[in-house]
Amino acid sequence: MNTGIPLQYFLILATVMFFAGIYGFLTRRNLITILMSVELILNSVNINFLAFNRYLYPHKLEGMFFSLFIIAVAASEAAVAIAIIINIYRRFTTINVEDVNEMKY
């Protein structure tokens, strides 16, 4: 089972995406961008799952199913998060996270 592209390439891509996501998640102040960063993280994990599944255990399907689950969960999570963001916007008329700090002590 060899497609020509080595496994490491996938892993590098996934790592880059993962840390790009982490970086975005930590530095951005816009809620929507944060959400997008989270999606990036999730998708990098997906790539990892698929690549490992394909290269290490080509006759099994667990990795595929797991990434399918992650996609489904990510979709619902995005829906919930956007709903929350809309509500936050209605209440504070901003989606900057630093202005939304009523829960601090």
Binding site for another protein (CB under 8 A): 22, 25-27, 29, 34, 97-98, 101-105
How many other C-beta atoms can be found within 10 angstroms of the C-beta atom of residue 31? 19
> Rg of the chain's alpha carbons, rounded to an integer?
17
Residue with tokens 């394909």: 54
Query: CB-wise, 29 or 91, nearer to another protein?
Result: 29
Q: Report, in Å, the least distance between residue 25 CB and another protein.
A: 6
The helix (run of H) or strand (run of E) holding residue 40 is helix 31-56
Query: CB-wise, 29 or 60, nearer to another protein?
Result: 29
Query: CB-wise, 76 or 102, nearer to another protein?
Result: 102
Tokens matching residue 52: 């490992």
- Cα–Cα distance, 12 to 33 (Å, whole number): 23
Q: Report, in Å, the least distance between residue 2 CB and another protein.
A: 29
Query: CB-wise, 93 or 98, nearer to another protein?
Result: 98
How many other C-beta atoms can be found within 10 angstroms of the C-beta atom of residue 30? 14
